Structure 1
Amino acid sequence: MASKAVKTVAKAVAEYQYPWKEKLAKHKNELTKGVWGYWKLGAWTPLHISGRRRARLRKEVLLAGEDWPYDPERKEMRTKMKGHKCDRIAAERRAKTAKLMEQMPEMLLAYKKRRCSKKIAFVLELFHLLKGF
């Protein structure tokens, strides 16, 4: 008698080992429509399976080692960091300033040459005007 009971329990356990397969087959059509719901004839229709039950079913399937194809596609990660802009670009500004300070002697020399050539051009123009009198 006891062996019969053990066989019955073992059979029940073996049949109930993968309850998620039945649930997945039952809700497969609903899960393909989206994670939160879907648009039907211009109206938003939520899923007929709740989020809690959907999450529990997903967890059971993943723990059994199967794949879960009903998750939405993931977006790219943000490359822009949070925080104040002045904190983010301060190092860039300091690097740019250091680079410009290295170029400063050439820039000053070019400025002096431009200024000197303008003065010479002005003096020559003035000289030609005065020569005509």
Structure 2
Amino acid sequence: MAAKAVKSVAKSVGKFQYPWRDKLEKYKGELSKGVWGYWELGAWKPLGMSARERARVRKEVLLAGEDWPYDPERKEMRDKRKGHKCDRIAAEKRANTARLMEQMPKKLAEYRKRKWERKMKEEEDAAKKTMQE
């Protein structure tokens, strides 16, 4: 009789400490089919437990230090950000302008050099022309 009482106390303590184990066993087949539900014979079947109950069981399992394998895989992060296109283009233009302004002194020096060379060539051509006359 005493052994039976100890067994029932241990069972009640076990259930009290880990009530999620029974729920996990009960809904194991359902949880493995999907997070929100599943398609069966062309019809959508929701899970046998509500999302609130599922979340509560998940939280209890994770707090107990157990593994929860029923979460869906995470998608990779989006590269393209949301927002207004004009804002994104304006930022790209500002960055491009800053990059070009860094190159500006070099470009101005090249331009002045080309202009000076053109001027020298025109003066030489004019001098040759006047010599030939």
Interval containing the TM-score (normalised by the shorter chain): 0.5 to 0.7
Aligned length: 127
CA 1:75–1:68: 2 relative to 1, 3 Å: same
- 3-state SS of paired residue (1:93): helix
CA RMSD of aligned residues (A): 4.2
Correspondences of 1:51-62 after superposition (within 5 Å): 51-62=51-62
Instruction: Tell me the CA shift for residue 113 of structure 1.
Output: 9.7
Which residue of 2 is the match for residue 95 of structure 1?
Answer: 98
CA distance in 1, matches of 2:109, 2:91: 34
- 3-state SS of paired residue (1:96): helix
CA distance in 1, matches of 2:43, 2:32: 18
**Structure 1 unmatched ranges of 5 or more:** 1-6, 116-133
Offset from partner CA, 1:64-119 (integer Å, 9 cap, x none): 0111111111112233444421453244223332244xx67x7678789999xxxx
Offset from partner CA, 1:16-36 (integer Å, 9 cap, x none): 211111110110000001111
When the two structures are superposed, what TM-score results if normalisation uses the length of structure 2? 0.62
CA distance in 2, matches of 1:107, 1:12: 85
Which residue of 2 is the match for residue 63 of structure 1?
Answer: 63
Which residue of 2 is the match for residue 14 of structure 1?
Answer: 13
| Matching residue's letter, 1:92 | A
- 3-state SS of paired residue (1:32): helix
| Matching residue's letter, 2:54 | R
Dislocated runs of 4+, deviation >6 Å: 108-115
CA 1:18–1:109: 2 relative to 1, 3 Å: closer
| Matching residue's letter, 1:44 | W
CA 1:92–1:67: 2 relative to 1, 3 Å: same
Instruction: Tell me the CA shift for residue 15 of structure 1.
Output: 2.4
Q: Percent identity?
A: 54
Which residue of 1 is the match for residue 24 of structure 2?
Answer: 24
CA distance in 1, matches of 2:93, 2:9: 69
